[in-house]
Structure 1
Amino acid sequence: MIHDKINIIERFSKLKVLIIGDGLLDVYIKGTTDRICREAPAPVFSVLSHKHESGGAANTAINVAMLGAEAHFLTVLGKDQHGRTLIEDLKKHKVHTEHIIQDKTRPTIAKKRMIAASTILLRVDEGATGSISGDCEQKMLRTLKSLYDQFDTIILSDYGYGTISSSVLHLLEELQESTPKKVIVDAKDLTRYKNIKPSAIKPNYEEAIHLLALEKITGAGRAGQVSAEADRLIKLTGASQAAVTLDSDGVLFIEKGRGPYRISCIPNENSRTIGAGDTFISALSLSLAAGADGRLSAEIAAAAAAVVVQKDGTSGCTNHELIAYINATPKYISCVEALELIAFNLRKQGKKIVFTNGCFDILHKGHVTLLNKARQSGDVLIVGLNTDESIRKVKGMYRPINRLEDRIAVLSGLSSVDYIIAFEEASPVKLIRAVHPHVFVKGGDYSEATIREAPLVKKLGGVIKIFPYTDDYSTSIIIERLRLKKEPATGAEDVLLAESN
């Protein structure tokens, strides 16, 4: 399952996605409130800093780009400073902005949050939230018609601020009739999109119960409440699949012909994240477009949202962060970028990182002793494991005895080993640069002068530890002993080996 998820994520880079919806600017104004003003019984807010982030459908577009896909954004913004700031931020995150329509009569939506002592005291909203002008609507229709065939999937992110008009919806219906594509919808009013027959929809709990005319409840019972109305939710929206997000209670995934599927999450009660839903819809859309089934797509999307809720403000999730998160429970790490992120977080937590490397072909007492000693040298042990091809180059065509996946499985069973990553180079210098280990462990009769990685380790602030091999234990000796079990001993050396066996 882990490898299936990673394979899907690695396909994101081949996808081209069109995001249509309401772009807005999230502004975070941090300050202090340690005084009361003279003219009224109200606190004085002293500004310390301003921070701008793309919000709404713009955040969805950024998340699509951060996850590795080619993201194109179609929206209407004002020809004002907020609009310019938003476009600059989109470009910085490699989102294509050439399709954005600007209207000097329509102020860009901005949501300004006043924050003191990590608490949001007030939110001030400004900008136009009514229907877009007829001229802008015609430009949107022409752009959509000309671009439609270029994309693998389309995400509609409708916050109810007027960008996606009835005419835009009608054109999408026509285009879907002639050339069906995966269309994923995240909207306040999902019934508007029924005729498009979305591949998937993403209501949150409040949106789902409003649509189903259900009473709002709290606690874990929410999932059961929505599950009981699963078929009706699909029928009302015309969607093939629905992912209902339930905050700390996870995600309820619904699809035609199958029972509801519950995906749990790790709750983060102190989270001040805004836009985790945008991250979820981005990862869900890309996973479906990359060929994953609905349940696997929802699991990947839930993982992406889990990455984001660990952050503050309007945030996104990169493909490397997502892979690192998925790899967090299993010990095997699939890429250097994920390893680098894991190591960075470990250092931030004050953990002492130990790194060692080797073939670990036929695991024996010598290996286990070395790994135990390495683990005792710090808080976390990362093992660089030679690939099959790199072993063949050094040991010959008949090695390794055990394939890479088998060696990973065996090492994963050792309590001393925290993380494993494969490498195909002659030396693990790339991994050392990514890890910045506090301790680099080698086994054998090396001296520091003969270890080629030593200068790099020391340059990065690490130390070298050398542990002698355990006598009479090596993979080569074990292989020879196994061979002698099948062949009669002929020479004195063979007799000694046979006797020692």
Structure 2
Amino acid sequence: MELSFLQHLSKAKVLVVGDVMLDKYWHGDTGRISPEAPVPVVKVAKVEDKAGGAANVAKNIAHLDGQVGLLGLIGEDDNGQVLEAILAADHIASQLVKVAELPTIAKMRVISRHQQVVRLDVEEPFSLSHSELLLARLENVLADYDIVVFSDYNKGALGHIEAMIKLAKQAGKLVLVDPKSHDLNKYRGADIITPNLSEFRLAGGDSQSEETLTESARKLIADAGIGAMLLTRSEQGMSLINATEKHDFAAQVLEVSDVTGAGDTVIATLAVMLGAGMAAKDAVEMANLAAGIVVGKLGAATVSPEELSRKLGQYLKATGEHYQTPFDDVLKHIEFARQSGEKIVFTNGCFDILHAGHVRYLAQAKARGDRLVVGLNNDESIARLKGPERPVNPLNERAMVLSALASVDWVIPFGCVSENDTPAALIEKVKPDVLVKGGDYTVEQIAGAEFVLANGGTVEVLSFLDGCSTSNVIRKIKAQ
């Protein structure tokens, strides 16, 4: 498996069809019991709205740089409008069909101290006539996509899924299904289905041993006319099973925070990797890595190409190959992180010969937030600032080394002559919540500080590690 596939994720053209919903989160602290009833009182401090169900699958695809469309059913209500706005912000080409007489499906969770206190569901099942509306819309948009993902939450949008799959296969599309029904015949013709262990058992699968699991999985997909099954098995990882082969993948997570939406991430990652040209076995391996990342996050979360790159690098024990985010995608990834409530930190420098002082400083900068963006002077800028003998290491090599650090999320070059060798213009594009600079500067002397402060951010000055500098390293080398 090669990291180079991560450079081609935007080639994936995926249409998601299924049960969309809005996930609402109320976050707050619990300090007392209500005098009205023996229940905790949560003082709400923050409210979050997120895409859920099939919409979360589409969001995962978009955050992996795949080209994605979404078909689903919503009501003519405020929740539907909120969901459409979220999808538009995530660059998802959604075509949600509005049904006047039913509400948009919404799952409302009250969270206190990282624990769910209660969940409230607003939903009514959609009818076959409503599903027919999606079937008609599917026929009109199929030509624009190579892969179709059906995300079934048993809410009625996929009431005509047999006809939908048949239509997609007749159009030559690869079909993936995240099933909910125990009757797998409904998914006849699908190329891959992705049940979890509970759904597998309800469909008639036998998991008493590896042998019975394999045999029953092969019988189920053969009887239903399905190409393969990707069975997600919680702490046991995943198994890809078809008529002749079985590949097992060990779970890739050390600590589970929340399994909400993990299945959405699996099928989304699988679709994007297949769309990027990856073989099925390797695509499942990537989906397994993505699942290991997302369950370590709270709530329905997504995975970025950068996170997958770091995880894959660890998995392959650092082969020397490294994924660099295409510059055009960096700002979009930063915005996705911001939409997820993550605090963005920015710092900048030459980082010519990386040393202990740099590593310590970057770790301290990262601790000021959730994601760290490093603005990196390009070679011409360093030559103007430091002299013609610098940099020692060219831009691509410096960026690769920085990107490999656990503290660094994105590296962005800057240093055009028109920018006067400062990152001010870059800072205005990144819009960080925290601007960090090392040394003995005052806030007024830091490029971009005025912009960050005006936008409600903070600016911090950190001290460097005594005796550590690139110039000192070079002098020591020359002295030997």
How many pairs align? 435
Structure 2 distance, partners of 1:138, 1:357, is: 59
Counting only pairs closer than 5 Å after superposition, residues 390-401 of structure 1 correspond to structure 2 as none
Post-superposition shift, 1:285? 0.7
Relative distance call for 1:375 and 1:416 in structure 2 (3 A) is farther
- Corresponding residue to 1:191 among 172, 184, 187: 184
Post-superposition shift, 1:22? 1.0
Relative distance call for 1:425 and 1:45 in structure 2 (3 A) is same
Matched, 1:266 2:253: yes
Relative distance call for 1:373 and 1:157 in structure 2 (3 A) is closer
Q: Deviations over 1:13-42 (max 9, x none)?
A: x333221111122233456461353xxxx4
Relative distance call for 1:299 and 1:429 in structure 2 (3 A) is farther
Task: Tell me the secondary structure at the aligned position of residue 212 of structure 1.
Answer: coil
Residue 153 of structure 1 corresponds to which residue in structure 2?
147
- Corresponding residue to 2:241 among 239, 248, 254: 254
Task: Tell me the secondary structure at the aligned position of residue 269 of structure 2.
Answer: helix
Query: Which amino acid counterpart does residue 48 of structure 1 have in structure 2?
Result: K
Partners of 2:347 and 2:375 within 8 A in 1: no
Relative distance call for 1:132 and 1:54 in structure 2 (3 A) is farther
Post-superposition shift, 1:469? 5.8
Relative distance call for 1:120 and 1:385 in structure 2 (3 A) is closer
Partners of 1:76 and 1:132 within 8 A in 2: no
Structure 1 distance, partners of 2:381, 2:246, is: 47
Relative distance call for 1:473 and 1:191 in structure 2 (3 A) is same
Residue 488 of structure 1 corresponds to which residue in structure 2?
none
Post-superposition shift, 1:203? 0.8
Q: Give the TM-score, by structure 2 length.
A: 0.69
Residue 57 of structure 1 corresponds to which residue in structure 2?
54
Structure 1 distance, partners of 2:162, 2:178, is: 14
Identity %: 24
Residue 43 of structure 2 corresponds to which residue in structure 1?
48
Relative distance call for 1:230 and 1:389 in structure 2 (3 A) is farther
Structure 2 distance, partners of 1:334, 1:474, is: 32
Residue 200 of structure 2 corresponds to which residue in structure 1?
208
Residue 102 of structure 2 corresponds to which residue in structure 1?
106
Counting only pairs closer than 5 Å after superposition, residues 401-412 of structure 1 correspond to structure 2 as none
Query: Which amino acid counterpart does residue 244 of structure 1 have in structure 2?
Result: L
Residue 143 of structure 1 corresponds to which residue in structure 2?
137
Partners of 2:184 and 2:220 within 8 A in 1: no
Task: Tell me the secondary structure at the aligned position of residue 62 of structure 1.
Answer: helix
Structure 2 distance, partners of 1:43, 1:421, is: 51
Structure 2 distance, partners of 1:191, 1:340, is: 40
Residue 239 of structure 1 corresponds to which residue in structure 2?
226
Query: Which amino acid counterpart does residue 158 of structure 1 have in structure 2?
Result: D
* Structure 2, gaps ≥5 residues long: 366-371, 385-390, 451-458
Residue 304 of structure 1 corresponds to which residue in structure 2?
290
* Structure 1, gaps ≥5 residues long: 361-366, 394-399, 442-447, 449-453, 478-499
Relative distance call for 1:132 and 1:93 in structure 2 (3 A) is farther
Q: Deviations over 1:332-376 (max 9, x none)?
A: 5623749989x99xxx99x9x99875777xxxxxx9xxx356557
Post-superposition shift, 1:411? 11
Task: Tell me the secondary structure at the aligned position of residue 284 of structure 1.
Answer: helix
Q: Deviations over 1:436-490 (max 9, x none)?
A: 897769xxxxxx9xxxxx9659996456866476799899x9xxxxxxxxxxxxx
Residue 73 of structure 1 corresponds to which residue in structure 2?
70
Structure 1 distance, partners of 2:135, 2:121, is: 28
Post-superposition shift, 1:390? 11
Query: Which amino acid counterpart does residue 179 of structure 2 have in structure 1?
Result: A
Task: Tell me the secondary structure at the aligned position of residue 297 of structure 1.
Answer: helix
Partners of 2:72 and 2:97 within 8 A in 1: yes
Task: Tell me the secondary structure at the aligned position of residue 214 of structure 1.
Answer: coil
Residue 387 of structure 2 corresponds to which residue in structure 1?
none
- Corresponding residue to 1:294 among 271, 280, 285: 280
Q: Deviations over 1:246-290 (max 9, x none)?
A: 223322223443332314211433x23421211211111111111
Post-superposition shift, 1:77? 2.0
Partners of 1:107 and 1:128 within 8 A in 2: yes
Partners of 1:334 and 1:422 within 8 A in 2: no
Structure 1 distance, partners of 2:103, 2:138, is: 23
Residue 91 of structure 1 corresponds to which residue in structure 2?
88
Structure 1 distance, partners of 2:16, 2:73, is: 12
Relative distance call for 1:44 and 1:68 in structure 2 (3 A) is same
Query: Which amino acid counterpart does residue 34 of structure 1 have in structure 2?
Result: I
Q: Give the TM-score, by structure 1 length.
A: 0.67
Structure 2 distance, partners of 1:411, 1:51, is: 33
Residue 267 of structure 2 corresponds to which residue in structure 1?
281
Q: RMSD in angstroms over aligned alpha carbons?
A: 5.1
Structure 1 distance, partners of 2:53, 2:359, is: 46
Relative distance call for 1:141 and 1:181 in structure 2 (3 A) is same
Structure 1 distance, partners of 2:407, 2:304, is: 27
Q: Deviations over 1:284-343 (max 9, x none)?
A: 1111111111122112222333332232222233444444554567485623749989x9
Structure 2 distance, partners of 1:140, 1:401, is: 59
Relative distance call for 1:355 and 1:248 in structure 2 (3 A) is farther
Structure 1 distance, partners of 2:473, 2:207, is: 72
Counting only pairs closer than 5 Å after superposition, residues 376-391 of structure 1 correspond to structure 2 as none
Partners of 1:333 and 1:421 within 8 A in 2: no
Residue 172 of structure 1 corresponds to which residue in structure 2?
165
Post-superposition shift, 1:155? 0.7
Query: Which amino acid counterpart does residue 334 of structure 1 have in structure 2?
Result: Q
Relative distance call for 1:255 and 1:389 in structure 2 (3 A) is farther
Matched, 1:124 2:120: yes
Counting only pairs closer than 5 Å after superposition, residues 444-463 of structure 1 correspond to structure 2 as 456=447, 461-462=460-461
Matched, 1:34 2:33: yes
Counting only pairs closer than 5 Å after superposition, residues 222-237 of structure 1 correspond to structure 2 as 226-227=213-214, 229-237=216-224
